[in-house]
Structure 1
């Protein structure tokens, strides 16, 4: 068929966007393997190589945790931007707490 595609089919034809945090973690994991291999290749001691591998793995794990936390915060902020503004004290609706002076109901003011 050579006509324009309906929006649903056009959406399926486009590849999904890559998660940048996932890409960063994948490259970091790759370096956690590659760096110790290169260190061993150039004659570094096994203990030094193991220490380097452990350090890289620890840094990668901490960075992954921080990236995921940052993504969750960004998603939460985007969700809050879409929500209606709730006012100064996060109350919604019209009630007795909307400012100004209020008398005690229907009692006369003297």
Structure 2
């Protein structure tokens, strides 16, 4: 498991706890962890896609990829 994924999981747990400590209702913050997890997952997928797509795009632009 990468460091970024561990920090994301930590943030998904910590954010609702902090909100409850600072006065938000427990029922009101029940949506925070799943939403943060979904956003984290989407960002991770987009970063992977950009890393793969960016590398092939750069190679094709440089003429390294046969057609």
TM-score bracket, normalised by the shorter chain, equals 0.5 to 0.7
Gapped regions of structure 2 (runs ≥ 5): none
Partner residue in 2 for 1:73: 53
Answer yes or no: is 1:40 the counterpart of 2:15.
no
Which residue of 45, 53, 63 corresponds with 2:43? 63
Partner residue in 2 for 1:83: 64
Whose RCO is larger (CA < 8 A, sep 6+)?
2
Return the structure number with greater helix share.
2
User: Are the structure 2 counterparts of residues 46 and 31 from structure 1 closer, same or farther at C-alpha, using a change threshold of 3 Å?
Assistant: same
State the Cα distance separating 1:27 from its structure 2 match. 3.4
Q: How many residues align?
A: 65
Q: Which contiguous aligned blocks of 4+ residues in structure 1 show a shift greater than 6 angstroms?
A: none
Gapped regions of structure 1 (runs ≥ 5): 1-21, 91-110
State the Cα distance separating 1:48 from its structure 2 match. 1.7
State the Cα distance separating 1:43 from its structure 2 match. 3.1
- Kindly name which structure, 1 or 2, has the bigger radius of gyration based on alpha carbons: 1
Per the normalisation by structure 1, the TM-score is 0.46
User: Are the structure 2 counterparts of residues 61 and 83 from structure 1 closer, same or farther at C-alpha, using a change threshold of 3 Å?
Assistant: same
Per the normalisation by structure 2, the TM-score is 0.67
